[in-house]
Structure 1
Amino acid sequence: MGQWGRAGAAVGSLLLFAGLLGLAGASDLPLVTCGSVVKLLNTRHNVRLHSHDVHYGSGEPMGRGLEKERRKKSLPGGSGQQSVTGISDVDDSNSYWRIRGKTSTVCERGTPVRCGQAIRLTHVNTGRNLHSHHFSSPLSGNQEVSAFGEEGEGDYLDDWTVLCSGSHWVRDDEVRFKHASTDVLLSVTGEQYGRPISGQKEVHGMTQQNQNNYWRAMEGIFMKPSELLRTEAHHAEL
């Protein structure tokens, strides 16, 4: 089992023992920080950002005897990458995402995320990054949003810019995520899938700024801010 598979299996234990690991509960910390593991709520449609081992359809052969099995767990059309959806279930562990620095950079654990900063959101249970590219989404025809990569490593199309007011991403505030390469906003507009993921809503990228692209950090494990930020704040007060 790889690093991210182990991380997914351990997410329940992390939630139980957060206090022992230098972490803060959802009510203790006002800022969202790198290294935190969170669920993200689309506030317009009341669904959480979600992924799972269900892939968008593709006409490309899978090879190694996987094609028939994959088709049982795929959605019509698209890139063939792992799908990203919105679900109303609050407790599903497949809705946890780890906040990391943008591609080829490191954001130190506990560093507050600044408004305008590019980040990656890595799906804890599968180790794939929130991703977008010039494929059409299967229901609305907007830009497809997928989960891509292996063991937390994908490519530059995994980078999303946090759009918020003020200097840092505040937990209780609504924020937007803008795809750094194509400028679309992470959105939900209400289209709903049938089988094999009945009731889940399509997540896609769209250019229009509206209520469909607001998100809020909800349940999770929030890494405490680094000593560096506290030192900077102290010096600013002097």
Structure 2
Amino acid sequence: MQFSFLNLILIVAFATFKVNCSSDKDVNIIDAVTYGSSIKLQHISSKHRLHSHEVPYGQGSYQQSVTGYPKGDDPNSLWLVKAENGKTYKRGTPVKCGDEIRLEHVSTKRNLHSHNFKSPISSQQEVSCFGDKGVGDSMDNWKLICIPNKHNNDIWNRGAPVMLQHVATKKYLFAHKSNMYNPPLTNQIEVTAFDNADDAENKWKTAEGVYFPIQTAD
């Protein structure tokens, strides 16, 4: 069996999970999510992970589709945490509540994106993946909104509930388990952007991933 360079990276990364990564069972909620980490985001209500793949939408933008995936073992649910479009931060810098960030899909190097197209199931605002080799545009920016809890320290804590607000359109990353795709996307749910800030279906948390430890400034 032949392995690509990406396969090799993922094998090494997953082999280090017990040391560097957190799961639903052993998450340390006080640890910070840092720039440069590759994470999985779990939709709290449905338990699905934010997911993408080389499958374009059949309508709307025709860009790379984004779904919620029911299992935690698929590498297509890994996202690289980056600064907003046009900025960079040192790897290991904690992500602060209120930061504008980008999430780059590790497998395809396209950024989580939204725009004024209708989603295929619910006709809400479409969420897609866009760009080339991590380069996209300002429609890739998402504002991190931390939901108050006893562990808040003005930084994004692993396992803590958060919302992601699309900066340009002010809508929130959303999913609902009733919006289920038919084959070939069996058991996957639609992911959209929704304008109700108080909706419980806007809430996400970090799950599995490769987390870089906090690095102090030089």
Q: What TM-score results when the alignment is normalised by the length of structure 1? A: 0.80
Corresponding residue of 1:174: 161
Pair 1:119–1:9, CA change in 2 (3 A): farther
Alignment of 1:188 onto 2:175:
yes
Which protein shows a greater Rg?
1
Corresponding residue of 1:103: 85
Corresponding residue of 1:31: 32
Corresponding residue of 2:206: 217
Sequence identity (%): 38
- Per-residue CA deviations over 1:177-211 (Å, capped at 9, x if unaligned) read 00011011000022011122122100000001211
Letter in 2 for 1:216: K
Structure 2 CA distance for aligned equivalents of residues 154 and 7 of structure 1: 21
1:9 Cα deviation from its structure 2 partner: 5.1
Equivalent in 86, 91, 113 of residue 131 of structure 1: 113
1:17 Cα deviation from its structure 2 partner: 4.2
1:7 Cα deviation from its structure 2 partner: 4.6
Q: What TM-score results when the alignment is normalised by the length of structure 2? A: 0.87
Letter in 1 for 2:45: R
Runs of 4+ aligned residues of structure 1 deviating over 6 Å after TM superposition are none
Letter in 1 for 2:171: V
Pair 1:218–1:55, CA change in 2 (3 A): same
| Aligned-residue RMSD, C-alpha | 1.9
User: How many pairs are equivalent?
Assistant: 203
Corresponding residue of 1:61: none
1:40 Cα deviation from its structure 2 partner: 0.4
Structure 1 CA distance for aligned equivalents of residues 170 and 6 of structure 2: 30
Matches within 5 A, 1:38-187: 38-57=39-58, 77-164=59-146, 165=148, 166=152, 167-187=154-174
More helix by share: 1
Gaps in structure 1 of 5+ consecutive residues: 58-76, 232-238
- Per-residue CA deviations over 1:14-47 (Å, capped at 9, x if unaligned) read 232479xxx8332467110000111100001110
- Per-residue CA deviations over 1:38-81 (Å, capped at 9, x if unaligned) read 11000011100000011112xxxxxxxxxxxxxxxxxxx21010
